[in-house]
Amino acid sequence: MPVPKMSRRLWLRIAAVLVTLAATADAADRPAGDHVTLRNGAKLRGVLFENSDKSVTLLVSAKWLVVTNAKLHLTSRPQTIAANKSGLEQALRRLTTEPQPAGDAAIAAFLKQQLDDVQAELAKADKFDPDFLWLTLPMKDVARVDPATPEHRQLLTWAWAEGLDRAEARSVEELSRDLKAHNVSPVGWPLSFIERVPAREQSDNEWAARRALADYALGPRLDFQGTGDVLARAEREAQADVGQLLVDLLRQQLQSQFGDLLGERPAKNGRNNAAKTESLAKAIQTAESEKRNGFRVTRLELASDFQQASVTTQFVAQLADGSWRTIFQHTEREDAKQARPEIEKRIQDDPQVKKVLDLTRQLGVAGDGQIQQAIRFGAATMSAQQTCDREFTAFRDVYLPSLVKPILSIGRGN
């Protein structure tokens, strides 16, 4: 007997809820960090830094590895010690031979501090006793890679920094509870952990990407913001122009309703992608003309139904070979139907927004429902952009303390 339509729909909803709850429970029970299973059955747990078609690079705790895989510890420890010294020597050569920046005291001071730090570490490199070990495993030896979420990866680094017992074997829920008992909020990466990461040699492109990120963080910033395929230079670090956002939203609503009369049609996805590539190329031209080696782009995607706000931010760096590559990218999506009273009030109180709303009501081009929808979309957009800002800051803060460590993977680009 066929299942009634309503019962089938209800069953599907219940099944979806159960799947979500099961996934949430599994995530909470899962040990923190990244997991790599070798073809010989060995299981490794740590922080994944590179995962290419050829190899996997994992950072693991030396204390954990000596207990769980003494043979691998025996080979990886001297390799890590040698790699640390080689990486420091390479950084010393670069810091002493590269030309110093002219007219930028903050960057010059940063590079001087980096040089002092490298020299100090190099002086004791032969007696280096690493707390963490690099494991670079060829893919032919790897059976499976189970990457963690960024939050769970950070959780493990905080557990390491706090010296929590058996951090690799304990669940996300357990570690979160213990860190809370230590009054630790596991956001970003702890500096005390980054300082203990062993150095490694870097490609010229990785070094150039690090320099671009440091120059952006410490010197004059070049930022671009826009909607879809349109980018404009942001003269100052700020939230998206909400007044202009509402204008764009209402215009797009009208366009979808009266497209034939206006003679306009939404662009096809392929055309949008081509236009995005073109707008990014223009941003690169601006950077090159101003002799900048890195910039940040933040885009808002205008959905046709305004039910979801999507913001993408990326950092683009010039590599040693002269090419440009995205070395960081994050997309955040927010439900635009959700009420956000505090943010919505800030939007409505904005003088520019008030002008837009008054004009819209006078012209009668949008009803109260459309206006409320636009405001909620604006609030969702601001929330998404704030999350993007936090994600970029967390990424930047991992690499800003040192030009030497940890690994900055740029092998695949974005």
What's the rounded Cα separation, in Å, for the pair 405 and 88? 10
Q: Which of 201, 235, 252 is the last residue of a domain?
A: 201
Calculate Rg over the CA atoms of the chain: 25
Residues 229 and 279 sit within 8 Å (Cβ to Cβ): yes
pLDDT at 365 over 90: no
pLDDT at 19 over 60: no
Do 304 and 385 lie in one domain? The reply is yes
For 363, phi then psi, to 5°, come to: -80, -15
> Residue range 97-103: average pLDDT?
81
Identify the residue with better confidence: 250 or 88: 88
Q: Establish whether the linkage from the previous residue to 406 is cis, with ω within 30° of 0.
A: yes
Do 190 and 120 lie in one domain? The reply is yes
What is the domain count for the chain? Answer: 2
Range of the domain at 178: 30-201
Do 263 and 360 lie in one domain? The reply is yes
Residues 6+ apart with CB under 8 A from 350: 242, 243
The pTM assigned to this predicted structure is 0.79
Do 180 and 136 lie in one domain? The reply is yes
Q: Report pLDDT for 133.
A: 97
Do 273 and 386 lie in one domain? The reply is yes
Do 275 and 158 lie in one domain? The reply is no
pLDDT at 306 over 50: yes
Asked if the structure places residue 212 within a domain, the reply is: no
Round the average pLDDT of the chain to a whole number and report it: 82
What's the rounded Cα separation, in Å, for the pair 186 and 157? 9
232-262 confidence digits (pLDDT tens): 898 754 444 555 555 555 555 444 444 433 3
pLDDT at 14 over 50: no
Return the closest-CA partner of residue 156 out of 178, 140, 127.
178
Do 287 and 391 lie in one domain? The reply is yes
312-360 confidence digits (pLDDT tens): 999 999 999 999 999 999 999 988 888 888 888 887 777 777 776 676 6
User: How many other β-carbons are positioned within 10 Å of the β-carbon of residue 212?
Assistant: 23
